[in-house]
Structure 1
Amino acid sequence: MQIPEILAPAGDFQAFVAAVENGADAVYIGGKVLSARAFAGNFDEDEMAKAVEYAHLRGVRVYVTVNILVDNSEITDAVSYVKTLYDLGVDGLIIQDLGLAFVIHQVLPRMNLHGSTQMIIHNGEGARFIQEMDFKRVVLARELSLEDIAQINKETSLEMEIFVHGALCISYSGQCLMSSLIGGRSGNRGKCAQPCRMTYTLVDEKGQPATDEKIGDHLLSPRDLNTLEILPEICQTGVRSLKLEGRMKRPEYVATVVRIYREALDRYKDDPEHFEVNTQELKELTQIFNRDFTHGYLLGHSGRDLMSYQRPNNRGTRIGRIDEIQNQGQMATIKLDEGIRIGDGLEIWVTKGGRQGFVVDQIISNGRSLRSAAPGEKVSINITGQPRVGDRVFKTHDVKLIETAQNSYLYPQKLIGVKFHLTAHLGKPIHILATDEEGYQGRFTSEYIVEKAMKRPADEESVKKQLNRLGGTAFYLKELLLDLDEGVMLPASELNNARRHVIDLIKQQKLERYAYPPVPNREVMDKFHQLIPAKKESRIRKSELSVRVGSLEGAKAAVEAGADRIYLSGENFQSQPKLTMEQMKDIAQYSRQKGCEVVFALPSIFHPQERSAMYRMIERVGSLPINAMLVNNMGGIQALKESGWDRRIYTDLGLNVFNDFSIDVLREKGIDLITLSLELNFAQIEKMNLGPGKIECLVHGSLPMMINQYCALGSILGGKEGTKACSRPCQGKSFGLKDRMNLIFPVEVDQFCRMHLYNPKELSMLAHADKFLQLGIDSLRIEAQRYSPSAVLQVTQIYRQVIDAASSHLMQHLDLENLEKTLAKMTNAGFTKGHYYRGVI
């Protein structure tokens, strides 16, 4: 039976020590740059070296997150940074950016690469795609079930890593632009502002509340993941690594969660048939931090059971309700559900006014002051604010639990025992052999020749005193064997020198087992520079116009209005009529007659359980006169290759193409048209060497913000809860999520019951169409899947007119102001220029 590693988070060195000391097999950390937790403490080079040595001496692996998108201007520094990590001997890099991964493999092929969860690998095809790029491990998407994970494990030799505890993103990671588009803080750059944790109201197409049910206001805020009770089922999937989330968490959190998972996993290893989780472990996990708990998607889609609608932050542990308020509102009587102590932090969920926190400094029972009180006792405690009888009280800080956690990293105990064997005979050198617990040895023979002692001859106590001076190292003296002539003199300086020498030898050997083969810096940079084209290609050309549509009428409108290419979406939004195969055939034939290319867009997501439906879709589309497929993830590319698709393949936004090398990777995979990331600005695009193939940019329409396995409509309106099925309230209706600023984020649900969230403000780059042409962009796209046929017609006509004028250098003759006013009449929330001018770096 294979027992997976426990992989712990660390945002600073104290958290790192906490992880190691409490039993982590591996720790993942971020540097000061290129990390998807930009606001964690993170590690500079010296701290990184210190952490790697601390871990490796104790047999613990270190993985470093380099898991953000990297633009062309950062690649050189990224290579230099990765070379530093290589020299430090880090055990693996967690990577999101395809281009950076390609470069690293070319210049440092021995470096172990792990595919970040930001890569959205959620099927065997995606795993095989990155395996072909020589990744060693994949961090699977959080949305997978145990059955999905087991299936992917059967289909690839990649190591699999999954999240098992901590905060959950509501969106598929790497596919969320919500923080980016709202406030410029990109999750793909490690700066997510978590707007999903804010308050929202579910509204209908008229902007009115869609339900009267009082479930809470945090409609996109998931509970925290907790899988302690299903560890056996997880282990049986074949995963190699159990990842604990929390690089933004304090060391006490890391210490507590790692300790509990370590002890539970060890029990399972020792006696899998009788594995149980004890109540105290669950209480401590709840106490250290929780938004309430969930198994996520591991046991299936649980609907509203996934969500923390009422509260987006730590709940703590409920200790009871206020029975009585005394002493002019300064004391409250509570019958305790859980024990409390002086120094604990409590929080009252008051009937009005939110929540009030305070520290316990008085506990009174039957007139006596207590230091602590047990569950079941009725006590009076100090309070603050204006609570009422019946208000709930929660413990958010357990002083004893925190003290236990702090002791684990402030006073580390994970040391390496060393056995010393010292020989000292008159007239001969001192000889020491030191052996650690793994058998690593250090030998030392002194230049000093042993003499007879004049005053204080050496004995076991004096020798042990010197050899035991190992403070500040990872070692301790476990055993001492002496072979001494009687009455010899052994100077302390000689013993100290011998001790340092043998310990350094053992330390060196223990660290060498993690080292990569040395590679000179010059060789690395020479290889890197050979990957860079000598000259940027000139790309001034006429641009095509693409339009994504969702209906037969919309498709014909786009063709009539002058589109060069239409995308037929494989994701059928339930608010719209479904595109049938007959309709797609009609569109394909009609478009071909008009000289317009027809492309089918595969669904953005397909789990292993949906594979057969996906391949049937590919086969059926292949029977139509359709020129190409548009794919939104690496699994889609691989699926087309493995299905024998012999026509063109285009890539969509989900591939997050952010630099030249990502383009090169996709071109080597046979991709004919590549859509650039929505988070690139004009200045970045201008510096890119776009190469010979086609490049597309979005210029107008509804911008996708999220793809969610969770559906707010099904959970809130459709009764989706636990194993209860959804009543499908999305059929033929439109909904949105209204925020505190009264902006409504449109919501669409596809045929797989996945929720797509859109930006309230639509993208419009009409006045800047000529800029795209100047940059050599081959294709400009309108996202019109959610548009009516009349809107598709009008928008396409306007962009056709402007693109033609720009291609002929006649933009100055257009009445752009009037054309923009016409477009503005089609949207309620107004327009945005996205990131084309502001960017995310």
Structure 2
Amino acid sequence: MNSKIISERPELLAPAGSMEAFFAAVDAGADAVYTGLKEFSARAKAKNFNLKEIEQITHYMQQRGKKLYIALNTLVKENELSLLIDTLGALEEIGVDALILQDLAVWKLAKDHFPGLELHASTQMTIHNAAGVKMLERMGFTRGVLAREMTLDEIAAIRKQTTLELEQFIHGALCFSYSGQCYFSSFLSGKSGNRGRCAQPCRRNHRYRQQEGYYFSPNDLSAIDLLPELEKAGICSLKIEGRMKSAEYVHKVVSAYRQVLDAPEKQRKTVLQEAKLLLKESFGRQPTKGFLSGGQPSDMAIPAHKGATGRFLGEITRVRGGEITFKTKEALHLGTRLRVQPAIDKSGTAFTVRQLMLGKKTVNKVTANSLVSVPSPFNNVFKAGDTVFMVSSPSAFTMSDSACRRKLSNVRPPAETVDLQVDVNPQQLQLTATIGTEKQQFQYPVDSFPATQQSLDQAILRQAFKATAGDPFILGKLECGELPEIVIPPKQLKQIRRDLYAALGQKQQQQKQQLRTEHLQSARSALFPLATGRAGKQQIRVQLRDSRDQRILQDPIVDQILIPLTGQNLQHANKLQRRSRQVIWDIPFVIFDKDWLDTRNAIRQLAQMGYSNFRLNNLGHFIIFDKMEGMKLYSSFRLFSLNSQAIAALAELGISEAELYIEDDRKNLADILRHQLPIPTAMTAYASVALLTSRVKIKNVRSDNPVLSDRDDAFRVQQRQGLTWLTSETDFSFIANIPEFENSGCHNFIIDLSHLGPFSQEGKQVLDAVKRGYDPQGCSKFNYESGLE
């Protein structure tokens, strides 16, 4: 075990989606900040940063002994690989402290071609057990951001089995679904959460049996009470969510956690209460500890609570043009920012309070429970019954964008230490400069004269060469041989120093440029050429829920079946042995450590029975197959093949066939398939995909009736395998597009009938559609035709 990881105090890691939020985080005491670029960021709606700004804030942090992490944590399309390569090259040259990533293409390209980049695995990779963490360690990651569904006991158990740094979210917005496994926004609008464009349909109002509620809208995580337990469990980085949040939010939340982390043990209780008051002023949602405390949290998703941020003040009772009147639950001041939320489920409208009226009297502030009128700049927008939230206070952290940029304008890269060996004779001064492991020699002629008083000595040389103002260097050791009794004019030594540091700087810049060019050329040469042959035999696989439906293999159109690895299906494994080559066992993507040994043993038992085909859904699955010969491993869409480099990464990890990504669109799929890929591909051509997969149980909602959105989209909620699954009542189908896939070079197709059963009337209709080449009536095309954002 790496004792350093355990013994050091945890890092407090803050979000920054804007320049103002960045300085708010630093001012409040963050040890490290994570942010995103304008491309490849899972918070695409945040302001984010360009590369020049990243360079400036990186140097700003490094000068203060702090760290900056860049979130490149979205899935990358095929035509974005070139830009990704340029971005990786630039970030390596800048010297950012780490990348946070989801797409295996980023992992492969960085690992193979940009070795100066440290890699952190995003929570989007759904790492939730020791096997997943060990796999990250094997892949060269230095840190894993664990799934937000973990309990403290589960984290502590993982800590005992790895030396990898572990990071955990401790505060901010939660997703109802496992991160990286949500297709809700994408299915309804084409705006993918895995591409940083989530439209948050989970926050909308839904109906079940005429009972309305916010069933999928979780409260905000707040683990400030659990900091000692998190540290004891082995978390090295405490992460605050909020790249979409204001500078005020970031400042108050980071300040609160900083106070508690730094508080002496005897004062912690008092400081904790003060910090909670500060958190209350951050205008988040109702707090929950989530799963950290263990068990099923009753306060994580409360249907009666609207998922809006801010503090609820009241409902509008009267509207006159742009003026609203309501009874406020809390005191109000001029300068407070309000958001008015319509009674119907639409976006709210925010404005800053410029005038307050009690009756006909204008005031600067009102007390709680006052009936107050507030003019707004919006005429005829609001209605009686709309709710009013306070989202910012007059005491907000205020540092303008221009002030932030002025503060960064003079930032320079941290100075590098130069060790000097000085050798002198009356005609020449020879310098050997060492930076890190790199040595360079320089010779300079000197006009010396014999010393009559103070001769040249080591102190004079050190004084001459330590003055490095304006240069990106600082003098470290200075050693010299025997010095002659001479004097070199100070002006000449000063000029030699200037020339030396200028030459070192130029040489370093040339080396950096050369290294970047080599790395970029290496990465670009790794991209796949266009394919030539596209021949192949069509394979149809039917995905089942129950292994007893295996007789579907008697249908001539069906080549293989996919069977979930469940206890019930394992009981019938012996009946399938004679057809073992036609069976692919589908491993559940969530396997907590308490179930790990049983799953591994079941797979080994299946291998002994002659089964060799397994479908992997999570990075933690790879370790199961260590030292198992003759296995054929398939990747599912949950391992994110949105580009050819991700497919190459999966091939490197041992995958024999990669399933293409179900969220994808026609153009990107064609872009991938026109390349010469290292392994064959497959595509799910028909399914009812789980839009959300969650550890949160929803009380009093069953699968007997659909859940309806305010737009009448229909969904089913099911509880199975200890998880909650939300599926659309509308299946998606690419069956009619199978010829397109085949022409592009994909010949393996999955028909998922696990929700219908292959022998039900609906299941038979789908199989008939496969035989005839059409899409069943009423199906969605997902993003295939409309496009994936």
Classify the TM-score, shorter chain: 0.7 to 0.9
| TM-score, normalised relative to structure 2 | 0.77
- Residues 9-68 of structure 1 show CA distances to partners (whole Å, capped at 9, x for unaligned) of 111211111111111111111112111111111111222222222222222211111111
Indicate the residue corresponding to 1:538 in structure 2. Answer: 533
Report 1:201-216 matches (<5 A). 201-202=207-208, 209=209, 212=211, 216=212
Indicate the residue corresponding to 2:708 in structure 1. Answer: 738
Report 1:497-516 matches (<5 A). none
Instruction: Return the offset for 1:640.
Output: 3.1
Indicate the residue corresponding to 1:766 in structure 2. Answer: 735
Instruction: Return the offset for 1:562.
Output: 3.3
Q: 2:243 corresponds to which letter in structure 1?
A: R
Instruction: Return the offset for 1:654.
Output: 0.6
| C-alpha spacing 1:410/1:275, structure 2 compared with 1 (3 Å) | farther
Q: Secondary structure in 1 aligned to 2:160?
A: helix
* Equivalent position to 2:149, from 128, 143, 146: 143
Structure 2 stretches of 5 or more lacking a match?
Answer: 1-6, 376-381, 412-468, 470-490
Q: Secondary structure in 2 aligned to 1:758?
A: strand
Indicate the residue corresponding to 1:659 in structure 2. Answer: 643
> Structure 2 CA distance, aligned partners of 1:693 and 1:523?
28
> Structure 1 CA distance, aligned partners of 2:339 and 2:665?
45
Indicate the residue corresponding to 2:694 in structure 1. Answer: 708
- Do structure 1's residue 128 and structure 2's residue 134 form an aligned pair? yes
| C-alpha spacing 1:839/1:380, structure 2 compared with 1 (3 Å) | closer
* Equivalent position to 1:217, from 213, 219, 243: 213
Instruction: Return the offset for 1:305.
Output: 1.2
> Structure 1 CA distance, aligned partners of 2:758 and 2:552?
6
Does structure 1 retain, via aligned residues, the 8 Å contact 2:657–2:681?
A: yes
Q: 1:775 corresponds to which letter in structure 2?
A: S
| TM-score, normalised relative to structure 1 | 0.73
Q: Secondary structure in 2 aligned to 1:259?
A: helix
Instruction: Return the offset for 1:224.
Output: 1.0
Q: 1:579 corresponds to which letter in structure 2?
A: Q
Stretch deviating more after TM superposition (761-770 or 18-27): 761-770
Indicate the residue corresponding to 2:99 in structure 1. Answer: 93
> Structure 2 CA distance, aligned partners of 1:757 and 1:89?
42
> Structure 2 CA distance, aligned partners of 1:651 and 1:25?
38
Q: 2:716 corresponds to which letter in structure 1?
A: P
Does structure 2 retain, via aligned residues, the 8 Å contact 1:229–1:277?
A: no
Does structure 2 retain, via aligned residues, the 8 Å contact 1:314–1:396?
A: no
* Equivalent position to 2:718, from 741, 744, 748: 748
Instruction: Return the offset for 1:524.
Output: 0.9
Instruction: Return the offset for 1:105.
Output: 1.2
> Structure 1 CA distance, aligned partners of 2:189 and 2:271?
43
- Do structure 1's residue 289 and structure 2's residue 237 form an aligned pair? no
> Structure 2 CA distance, aligned partners of 1:800 and 1:395?
55
- Do structure 1's residue 788 and structure 2's residue 780 form an aligned pair? no
> Structure 1 CA distance, aligned partners of 2:361 and 2:516?
71
- Structure 1 vs Structure 2 CA RMSD: 4.2
Instruction: Return the offset for 1:92.
Output: 0.8
- Residues 609-651 of structure 1 show CA distances to partners (whole Å, capped at 9, x for unaligned) of 3323323432443454433111111111223337x47522211
| C-alpha spacing 1:341/1:759, structure 2 compared with 1 (3 Å) | same
- Do structure 1's residue 264 and structure 2's residue 256 form an aligned pair? no
Q: Secondary structure in 1 aligned to 2:788?
A: coil
> Structure 2 CA distance, aligned partners of 1:407 and 1:373?
33
Does structure 2 retain, via aligned residues, the 8 Å contact 1:256–1:284?
A: yes
| C-alpha spacing 1:769/1:4, structure 2 compared with 1 (3 Å) | same
> Structure 2 CA distance, aligned partners of 1:338 and 1:648?
63
- Residue-pair matches, total: 686
Indicate the residue corresponding to 2:223 in structure 1. Answer: 227
- Residues 530-554 of structure 1 show CA distances to partners (whole Å, capped at 9, x for unaligned) of 4234563523111111111012443
> Structure 2 CA distance, aligned partners of 1:559 and 1:692?
32
- Do structure 1's residue 79 and structure 2's residue 85 form an aligned pair? yes
* Equivalent position to 1:583, from 556, 572, 585: 572
> Structure 1 CA distance, aligned partners of 2:339 and 2:40?
37
Instruction: Return the offset for 1:519.
Output: 5.3
* Equivalent position to 1:835, from 760, 783, 786: 783
Indicate the residue corresponding to 2:438 in structure 1. Answer: none
* Equivalent position to 2:242, from 242, 246, 261: 246
| C-alpha spacing 1:73/1:317, structure 2 compared with 1 (3 Å) | closer
Aligned residues: percent identity? 27
Does structure 1 retain, via aligned residues, the 8 Å contact 2:651–2:678?
A: no
Q: 2:19 corresponds to which letter in structure 1?
A: F
* Equivalent position to 1:636, from 616, 621, 646: 621
> Structure 2 CA distance, aligned partners of 1:663 and 1:296?
35
Q: Secondary structure in 2 aligned to 1:229?
A: helix
Report 1:271-282 matches (<5 A). 271=265, 274-282=268-276
> Structure 2 CA distance, aligned partners of 1:261 and 1:314?
23
> Structure 2 CA distance, aligned partners of 1:318 and 1:133?
47
| C-alpha spacing 1:640/1:241, structure 2 compared with 1 (3 Å) | same
Indicate the residue corresponding to 1:59 in structure 2. Answer: 65
| C-alpha spacing 1:403/1:637, structure 2 compared with 1 (3 Å) | same
Q: 2:717 corresponds to which letter in structure 1?
A: V
Indicate the residue corresponding to 2:197 in structure 1. Answer: 191
| C-alpha spacing 1:697/1:331, structure 2 compared with 1 (3 Å) | closer
> Structure 2 CA distance, aligned partners of 1:276 and 1:114?
35
- Do structure 1's residue 111 and structure 2's residue 98 form an aligned pair? no
Stretch deviating more after TM superposition (128-137 or 551-560): 551-560
Stretch deviating more after TM superposition (578-587 or 783-792): 578-587
Report 1:23-42 matches (<5 A). 23-42=29-48
> Structure 2 CA distance, aligned partners of 1:283 and 1:672?
55
> Structure 1 CA distance, aligned partners of 2:161 and 2:354?
55
Stretch deviating more after TM superposition (56-65 or 378-387): 378-387
Q: Secondary structure in 2 aligned to 1:155?
A: coil
Q: Secondary structure in 1 aligned to 2:226?
A: helix
Does structure 2 retain, via aligned residues, the 8 Å contact 1:124–1:155?
A: yes
- Residues 550-595 of structure 1 show CA distances to partners (whole Å, capped at 9, x for unaligned) of 1244321344353111011136xxxxxx834332332444x35xxx
Instruction: Return the offset for 1:83.
Output: 1.0
Q: Secondary structure in 2 aligned to 1:636?
A: helix
Instruction: Return the offset for 1:129.
Output: 1.6
